[in-house]
Amino acid sequence: MKFNPLACAAVLALTSGMAWADGHAALKFAPGEDSAFNWASYEDFAAANDFSGQEMSMTGPWTGADKELVENMLAYFEAATGASVNYSGSDSFEQDIVIASQAGSAPNVGVFPQPGLAADLAARGALAPLGNETADWVRDNYAAGQSWVDLGTYGNESGEDELFGFFYKVDVKSLVWYVPEAFDEAGYDIPESMEDLKALTDQIVADGGTPWCIGLGSGAATGWPATDWVEDMMLRTQAPDVYDQWVANEIPFDDERVLEAIEEYGYFARNDTYVDGGATSVANTDFRDSPGGLFEFPPKCYMHRQASFIPTFFPDGTEVGEDVDFFYFPAYAEKDLGKPVLGAGTLFALTNDSPVARGFIEFLKTPIAHEVWMAQSGFLTPHKGVNTDTYASDTLRALGDVLLGATTFRFDGSDLMPAEIGADAFWKGMVAYTGGEDGASVAKTIQDRWSSIQ
């Protein structure tokens, strides 16, 4: 049976105010009520795991409405096992978890927005490894599974690599937004390859239009949208291991392969005929304002490359899937690098090992642990065993399909670099390059900065 939000709303109405006899919160979707959910995975897990009377603490970055969403998911683990989970969200999670680890008061589970901090704690012995069995499970059950194993694998205190991070809740960045009506009126097709995308870009110019809106402005963080472009281009011009070497500074920033990716970004952003307002406007346009040209009549631009969060900044009343839509930022057909996807996400790690915490990691492997959040909002997963009909909207389902279709997934590179590089020199360098500075010179400046801090 296809997932029906109205039916689930009815279930919620029936269960609202109802608590489990052992004191657990009511479940948002009652087990067994909608066959779109993988309730068998819930029942099998419940039958195999009893943590009655045990408590688990968890700390992460989710606050406000996001805190409510994660707690809705945690309620199913509680109901299945009898455990009690205390989740605390913090806007300063990164600082808090380090302090707690040093003081010996870390929670059982930490939810990390970036792998870098988790890797640091693993090297200090502050995380417990998840084991080869979990690594094998991820390889087999996540799309591009080896990518997720690699992203969660760090050196321990002895320098030996082990799996420490289990990724759950992912964001997608490799997207191009467009207005379907504008494409239909102009007779444009969705490009299937980077070659097609470049041909479409030229066709729009030949037709008298402007292909792209691009904006790098973001206050003190100005420049980060350009780093996303470069990272996407690295994954489309080089093999994934080259991307990894670049992010780890095992090849320098001014390596010819990195420079090629920078210039691939420049192919679009430094061409006056390609960008709304001309190339000089790119660095001065706020990223939140930059997609606005899509919605002008006639369009000031036809395409905007940005992550899955950008609809927040679309005009009020814009309906994704009708007024605006997206397509996958395509790879080069001639390079045969599959379908790489750039993104970000959160990973769960054992910051204070316990049997109930390990049981929770096992729960995260079940389809139901993903589907109960998929059916709400703001959640994407690479889990191949979920029923995508449980996504709360067609847009989320389509975004999920991008993840499931990925042959390679890589985390935002600037987030993995030292902050002095990824959140400063790289940002500023891309602003300078977009403004006309020579790419090789900009790349050398960034590398010199990186070399100086090692």
Assess contact for 243 and 413: CB atoms under 8 A.
Answer: yes
Is a pLDDT exceeding 90 seen at residue 13? no
Q: What is the pLDDT of residues 283-311, one digit of tens each?
A: 999 999 999 999 999 999 999 999 999 99
Residue 18: which pLDDT band, with cuts at 50, 70 and 90? very low
Listed residue (225, 300, 283, 304) closest to 432, CA to CA: 283
Whole-angstrom distance, CA of residue 417 vs CA of residue 123: 16
Is a pLDDT exceeding 60 seen at residue 21? no
3-state secondary structure of 81: helix
Residue 114: which pLDDT band, with cuts at 50, 70 and 90? confident
Assess contact for 127 and 220: CB atoms under 8 A.
Answer: no
Is a pLDDT exceeding 90 seen at residue 58? yes
What CATH number does the domain located at 175-341+419-452 have? 3.40.190.10
Task: State mean pLDDT over 222-235.
Answer: 98
Q: What is the pLDDT of residues 325-348, one digit of tens each?
A: 999 999 999 999 999 999 999 999
Listed residue (144, 137, 152) closest to 365, CA to CA: 137
Q: What is the pLDDT of residues 418-440, one digit of tens each?
A: 999 999 999 999 999 999 999 99
Other beta carbons within 10 Å of 39: 18
C-alpha distances out from residue 334 to 191, 193, 262, 338, 339, Å: 14, 9, 19, 10, 13
Task: State mean pLDDT over 180-185.
Answer: 98
What pLDDT shows up at residue 454? 72
- CATH 3.40.190.10: which residues of the chain? 5-172+344-411, 175-341+419-452
Of 11-15, 172-176, 242-246, 412-416, the poorest mean pLDDT is in 11-15
pTM, entire model: 0.90
Q: Is the dihedral of CA 240, 245, 249, 254 positive or negative?
A: negative
CATH superfamily, region 5-172+344-411 = Periplasmic binding protein-like II (3.40.190.10)
Give the position of tokens 């805190």.
67
